[in-house]
Amino acid sequence: NAGVTQTPKFQVLKTGQSMTLQCAQDMNHNSMYWYRQDPGMGLRLIYYSASEGTTDKGEVPNGYNVSRLNKREFSLRLESAAPSQTSVYFCASSPRWQLRPQHFGDGTRLSIL
């Protein structure tokens, strides 16, 4: 089925470790997004890519980096994981920048000890 695929689904890290969350969409969407969702906090935008070749900071970019590898793929990297980054991470996409996200991945549940 068409959609947004995130890997991994679950991950446990130790403080200071690094990892990359992968996201791919097969709908030929121009724009892609990374969010985190914490209990009682709603969705918070980490980084976004309005189109291939561009990335910008969202509301909570500190401690993260992103790469828009091509039109399909948008990865999120934690360089030195901290317990405060324990969260559920969602990748999303939209056909164009002017529209809010229309497809979401199933999420990555990340725990940092």
If the CB atoms of residues 99 and 113 are measured against other proteins, the closer one turns out to be 99
Distance, CA of 95 to CA of 8 (rounded, Å):
24
Work out how close the CB of 15 gets to other proteins at its nearest, in angstroms, rounded to a whole number. 26
Work out how close the CB of 76 gets to other proteins at its nearest, in angstroms, rounded to a whole number. 13
If the CB atoms of residues 59 and 79 are measured against other proteins, the closer one turns out to be 59
Residues that bind other proteins (CB under 8 A): 31, 33, 35, 37, 42-43, 45, 48, 50, 58-59, 88, 90, 92, 94, 97-107
DSSP state at residue 39: T
If the CB atoms of residues 17 and 55 are measured against other proteins, the closer one turns out to be 55
If the CB atoms of residues 17 and 60 are measured against other proteins, the closer one turns out to be 60
Which own/partner pairs from 104-108 qualify as long-range (CB within 8 Å, at least 24 positions apart)? 104/4, 105/3, 105/4, 105/5, 105/6, 105/23, 106/6, 106/9, 107/6, 107/9, 107/37, 108/6, 108/7, 108/8, 108/9, 108/10, 108/11, 108/21
Work out how close the CB of 100 gets to other proteins at its nearest, in angstroms, rounded to a whole number. 5
